[in-house]
Amino acid sequence: MSSWNVRVEPAPCVGLGRLAGVLHLGAALAPWAAGCTPLLAAALSAACLVTLPATLAALPGRRCAIRALACLDGAWSALLSDGRDVAVEVDGATRVFAGVVVCRLAAGSQHYDWWLPGYAIPAGDFRRFKVAVRCIRQGEPGPS
């Protein structure tokens, strides 16, 4: 069915990246403001700041490893930032929410995180993408 096939090429989410940076910085400062012991506060702050690059790498934009994701007749493939087109599988850790899809994709032993907000692509493509991901997560082949 042609409506089942979907290709997602999101626009960069610069605003979401800035928001993630502010949230990580706020989370890094929170232990100090809460009065934690210096050793604990330093460890928690370091954890918040060390995970910021991974968060930014999961958001559509220049730091993201995935440029596009396609589902054609149930076969998933991802266009990576280096130009390679690789077959991927949707991991069970993938979650679908109303305004965002949090994808965990596996290509062999390599795993990719991809957070796709609904405003980054046309609404129809986003709905089809959510349906495709939900069906894969539930073990269904999709609509026939």
How far is Cα 79 from Cα 54, in angstroms, rounded to an integer?
19
DSSP 118: G
Handedness of CA 70, 132, 128, 122 (dihedral sign): negative
Q: What is the mean pLDDT of the chain?
A: 89
| Domain range list for the chain | 6-137
Tally of helices (H runs) and strands (E runs) in the chain:
4, 8
32, containing H or E segment: helix 14-33
List pLDDT tens digits, range 33-88: 999 999 999 999 999 999 999 999 999 998 999 999 998 887 899 999 999 999 99
User: Model's pTM, two decimal places?
Assistant: 0.79
Beta bridge partners of 116: 101
